[in-house]
Structure 1
Amino acid sequence: MHLTQLLADLLLSLWRGTIDYTPPDHPSTWEWAVFRDANLWQGHGQAVTDAAQHLPGSFDRKPCNPTQKINTGYKTWEFQMYIFGLGPALLYNVVPQQYWLNYYQLVCGFCLICQHSISMQDLQAAHACFIQWELDFEILYYQQQAECLQFICPCVHQVMHLTTETLQKGPPICYSQWTMECTIGNFGQEIRQPSNPYANLLREGVQQCQVNALKAMVPDLVEPKQDLPQGSIDLGDGYSLLRKCDLYDVQPQGGAARAIREYLGADVKICRWACLRLPNGQTARTVWREAKKPAEKVCISRNVKLMLDGEICLAEVLYFTHLAVADGLDEDGEQIFHWQAMVLVMMYSYPDRDLLKLSFHAVSSCKPIEDDICVVDAKSITDVIGMVPH
């Protein structure tokens, strides 16, 4: 079973007071069992449901209401998004602070260790988080009481081996159960003949390994994918503008008009675009189009991470457009212009420093700055993110 699911089951059973116990120990004496209160548990479940709509579609399956589905088919990915994605913010001021801080150490370590590539500095930081988490977990929950020994499940100690295994095998995401399940599914789709399935599977595996080895030795054998839809504009470097777009140029209004005027020094009409495909495969969307749909039918994908002057910033995309940007003078002294893809964004504030420090940099709590609308290069967008109200 996935380590994520095992840890989620352990933490939730402790917080709900449903884990096995040995008298004279009783859940009524557990300070951490806050979800024994049925009303609080129901309210938390609704908060998870409400928060899920703020996750981009690229985040895959949204976590369901845990109060309704936790014992009936709650998927491992839902556990991961719930415990390591939404949980850090939704459990703030719900779980007592000392237990919340211990939980955050685990979240911080997992966020670091789940990267596809990890630096030695991040690996050391993750190892420190895991060591401190296990030590504090035993002090807070187990408390060196024999009747609480069942709280220390094997998954608690398994976490400690993630960093050492990473040194030997690479990031866990490369050899985890996720990868194995995906590979098994891919091989299963390749089998076409019902006779000798294992021989066919063996042959498919060998052939795939040979192809992968050739591609690794000769990268030019890998043909670039040409999957841009009709009407899109390839901006280069893996960025592409995708429809919908305005049929006719429009005059920007309000703060957007002011931002464009400050950027260009003149009032101009523009053509708005709805989507931008990023090099990582995500699609950034816009307030312009998402606001036209019912909130319950939208996976909000308009919040993005920007890299501006070497600094990471967060913003909400209003819309994308093409602007004629001055590019110097020609030999005759005439102004030269070039078309550049730009994005109108509403900036978020810097993360709350106290919460950022308290959560070991696992939670960035920001506020939208409605009067801070900027024009920036579309290629400054690096990722689509989820901004969950809490």
Structure 2
Amino acid sequence: MHACGINVPDLIQKLFRGTLDCDTKNGDNKASWDWAVLVGDVWKTHGEAVATARQYLPGSFGRPPRNPAEKISSGYKCWEFLHWMYGMLPALLYGVLPEAYWKHFCKLVAGVRIVFQRRTMRAEREYAHTMISDFIYEFEKLYVQRKISRMHFLPQCLHAILHHPTEFERIGPLICSSQFTMERTIGDLGGEIRQPSNVFANLAQRALRRAQVNGLKAMFPDLDPDEHGPSNRVPICDLGGGYSLLHPREDHPRLVRQCEARAIMQYLRRYTVVENLDEDEDEVHVQRWARCRIPNGQICRSSWKEVPNHVTRISRNVKVASSNHSISYGEVLYYFQVKTVDVRCKTLALVAQYGSPNRRLLEMSSGVVWACHAGGDNALTVIDVKNIIACSAMIPFSPPGFDVSDTNKVYFAMDKMGVEMDVLGGLSSTDTYNMDEDEDM
């Protein structure tokens, strides 16, 4: 956690801001640091862009990054560095950082995003190793340039991350054995101490009891109810496989718009459903659901009921995996159910698909920056809710060379790193996240 979450981000941001020590005695000069672009008004503008993006990060992302131009020296947290450095920075630096340095930085992001996952394919781990190895090698060429005066540009953490992909292969997902796990355990056990006069003996007993309870739960799973799932007091519709529809829900089917009706009927004809919908495209009625809980613990909302404001963050954008293993993003309008010809209930979602990513930008960034236009009502489609794999952020930005206007906005996709750990850690998505509280944290 510390290497990728604090040490490396701290080094990178100091390089881009030009705040690393400069050894002028050995001939170095900050005027030659063409990578130091986050200075002056550019740094302030960048900080404002990061702060503005908080509204677009779903509540399940947890702590959003604060304005780094104001808070970088005020206890910036590990998750803030992770969201900022590996989520936002590749897109926000496009056109700001010289291209050679930008491409180089994107290789680091591509590798770290993979090693932070809980499940990876061998090919992904090999790709992560290649990206991080290239980053380390090119770092010495681009920044150090074989100058003794820049030896302090190479802290030990840069060498440490080189081993992350291979350690993943040896001991399993690093996020499951990282400092996150240890600090969570320390916090949980520390909060149970009730004998300040004999702290360590009390701590040892609490740890022993925790181990005994965990052993009992492992032998008898019924002793461990899902306390972090949807409340039993709130009606839900369990879809199996970790998917659930959550209230609010309409009390009866209602007429949908014509553009929505066309998308729904196109899907139904393709898969030969349905006995409870009108065949007339102009007269389609559905009973809408507002939210869906997916296996990783996130709650995906919909534009039908979500009203973004300074408290509630947008959580209606989803990452979708299709049957041919391709990935796309969409904005959920609502969820609904239909009966198939074999009288089974099928749960669907009406989404407004985002456009295809800009291929040139995706390739230049080593697959990191997924930039696309919003589809709107002209790109409505119906998907099976079980094709939703994550609740994602779609953040607006204005990259150079893109046609950007109020009616043709460009967004970049951002997924939460290590989201599957929320389930293992007993956390679940929250529908509201008080953004005002962040200023005090």
For normalisation by structure 1, the TM-score amounts to 0.90
2:295 is matched with: 279
**2:23: which partner in 1?**
22
AA in 1 matched with 2:293 = R
Match runs of 1:49-198 below 5 Å = 49-198=51-200
State how far apart, in whole Å, the 1-side matches of 2:12 and 2:248 are: 44
Match of 2:328 among 286, 310, 313: 313
Secondary structure (helix, strand or coil) at the match of 2:254 reads coil
Given the alignment of the two structures, is residue 35 of structure 1 paired with residue 38 of structure 2, yes or no?
A: yes
Aligned counterparts of 1:48 and 1:125: Cα–Cα separation in 2: 29
* Mean Cα deviation higher: 214-223 or 62-71: 214-223
Matched AA of 1:191 = I
Identity of aligned pairs, percent? 40
Secondary structure of 2:34 counterpart: coil
Matched, 1:288 2:304: yes
For residues 310-334 of structure 1, the C-alpha deviation after alignment (integer angstroms, 9 at most, x for no partner) is: 33222110011223x3415xxxxxx
For 1:303, the equivalent position in structure 2 comes to 317
Spell out the pairing of 1:191-270 with structure 2 (5 A cutoff). 191-213=193-215, 215=217, 222-224=224-226, 227-228=230-231, 229-264=233-268, 265-266=279-280, 267-270=283-286
Instruction: Give 3-state SS (helix, strand or coil) of 1:34's partner.
Output: coil
* Larger CA deviation: 259-268 vs 55-64: 259-268
Q: CA deviation at 1:112?
A: 0.9
Paired amino acid for 2:347: A
Asked if 1 retains the 8 angstrom alpha-carbon contact of 2:104 and 2:135, the reply is yes
Partner deviation per Cα, 1:145-170 (whole Å, 9 max, x = no partner): 11111111222122122234334433
Distance change in 2, residues 1:249/1:118 (3 Å): closer
Q: What is the deviation of 1:223?
A: 4.3
Cα separation, 2, equivalents of 1:174 and 1:236: 26
Structure 2 SS opposite 1:73: coil
The one-letter code sitting in structure 1 at the alignment partner of 2:290 is A
Name the structure, 1 or 2, with higher relative contact order (CA <8 Å, separation 6+).
2
Give the drift of 1:362: 1.7
Residue aligned with 2:330, SS: strand
The match for 1:379 among 366, 381, 386 is 386
The Cα of 1:220 is off from its aligned counterpart by 6.7
Change (3 A) 1:101 1:263: closer
Unaligned runs of 5+ in 1: 329-336
Match of 1:332 in 2: none
Question: What secondary structure, in the 3-state scheme, does the structure 2 residue paired with 1:321 have?
Answer: strand
Q: Which residue identity does 2:260 align to in structure 1?
A: A
How far did 1:289 drift? 1.7
Shift of residue 262 of structure 1?
A: 3.1
Shift, 1:110, TM fit = 0.4
SS in 1 for 2:200: helix
Q: How far did 1:263 drift?
A: 3.7
Asked if the contact 2:111–2:129 (Cα under 8 Å) also holds between the matched residues in 1, the reply is yes
State how far apart, in whole Å, the 2-side matches of 1:123 and 1:206 are.
37
Q: Distance in 2 between matches of 1:198 and 1:190?
A: 12
Identify which range, 102-111 or 252-261, moves more after superposition: 252-261
Deviations along 1:99-132, whole A, 9 cap, x unmatched? 1111111111101111123333222222211111
**Cα distance in 1 for residues equivalent to 2:258 and 2:48:** 36
Which AA in structure 1 matches 2:237? Answer: I
Q: Name whichever of 268-277 and 14-23 sits farther off.
A: 268-277
CA distance in 1, matches of 2:142, 2:355: 35
Q: Which stretch has the larger CA shift, 346-355 or 65-74?
A: 346-355
Paired residue secondary structure (2:244):
strand
Name the CA shift for 1:320/1:167 in 2 (closer, same or farther; >3 Å).
closer
Cα offset, 1:191, TM superposition? 2.9
**RMSD over aligned Cα, in angstroms?**
2.2
Residues 50-77 of structure 1, C-alpha deviation per residue, up to 9 Å, x if partnerless? 2221111111100011101011121111
Q: Give 3-state SS (helix, strand or coil) of 1:242's partner.
A: strand
Question: Per-residue deviation at 1:213?
Answer: 4.7
Q: What's the counterpart of residue 348 of structure 1?
A: 354
User: Secondary structure in 1 aligned to 2:47?
Assistant: helix
The code of the aligned residue for 2:244 comes to S
Aligned to 1:2: 2
The structural deviation recorded for 1:252 is: 0.5
Size of the aligned set, in residue pairs, is: 378
Q: After superposition, what is the alpha-carbon deviation per residue over 1:1-42, rounded to whole angstroms, capped at 9, x for unaligned?
A: 822211111111111111101113221221111123x11111
Q: Which runs of 5+ in 2 are unaligned?
A: 269-278, 398-441
What secondary structure does 1:72 align onto?
coil
Report the equivalent of 1:334.
none
